[in-house]
Homo-oligomer: A and B are copies of this chain.
Amino acid sequence: MGKGRLEAFSDGVIAIIITIMVLELKVPHGAEFEALAPLLPVFLSYVLSFIYVGIYWNNHHHLIHAVTKTTGGVLWANLHLLFWLSLIPFVTSWIGEHHLAAVPLACYGFVLFMSSFAYLLLVRCLEANNEAVKAALGSDRKGKISMLMYLVGVCLSFVYPLLGFGVYVLVAVIWFLPDRRIESRYKS
Please report A residues at the B interface, Cβ cutoff 8 Å.
Answer: 1-2, 4-5, 7-9, 11-20, 22-25, 27-28, 31-33, 35-36, 47, 50, 54, 57-58, 61-62, 65, 72, 75-76, 79, 82-83, 86-87, 89-90, 93-94, 97-98, 101-104, 107, 176, 178
Residues of B within 8 A of A2 (CB): 65
* Sampled A-B contacts (12; CB under 8 Å): A12-B12, A13-B19, A16-B20, A28-B94, A31-B94, A31-B104, A32-B103, A50-B79, A57-B79, A58-B79, A61-B75, A72-B178
Q: Whose C-beta in chain B lies nearest to the C-beta of A101?
A: B31
Residues of B within 8 A of A104 (CB): 31
Residues of B within 8 A of A93 (CB): 27
Q: Would you give the shortest CB distance from A47 to chain B, in whole angstroms? A: 8
B61 contacts A5, C-beta separation under 8 Å: yes
| Top-9 shortest CB links A-B | A12-B15, A31-B101, A31-B98, A16-B19, A54-B79, A27-B93, A13-B15, A8-B11, A25-B90
| Distance of A17 Cα from B72 Cα, bound (Å) | 21
A103 contacts B72, C-beta separation under 8 Å: no
Residues of B within 8 A of A89 (CB): 22-23
Residues of B within 8 A of A87 (CB): 22, 25
| Distance of A36 Cα from B33 Cα, bound (Å) | 29
Given contacts A9-B14, A11-B8, A94-B27, contact A22 B79 (CB under 8 A): no
Q: Which of A50, A86, A87 is packed against the most chain B CB atoms within 10 Å?
A: A86
B18 contacts A86, C-beta separation under 8 Å: yes
B50 contacts A83, C-beta separation under 8 Å: yes
- Pick the contact of A11: B9, B31, B86, B94 (CB < 8 A): B9
Q: Whose C-beta in chain B lies nearest to the C-beta of A58?
A: B75
Residues of B within 8 A of A11 (CB): 5, 8-9, 12
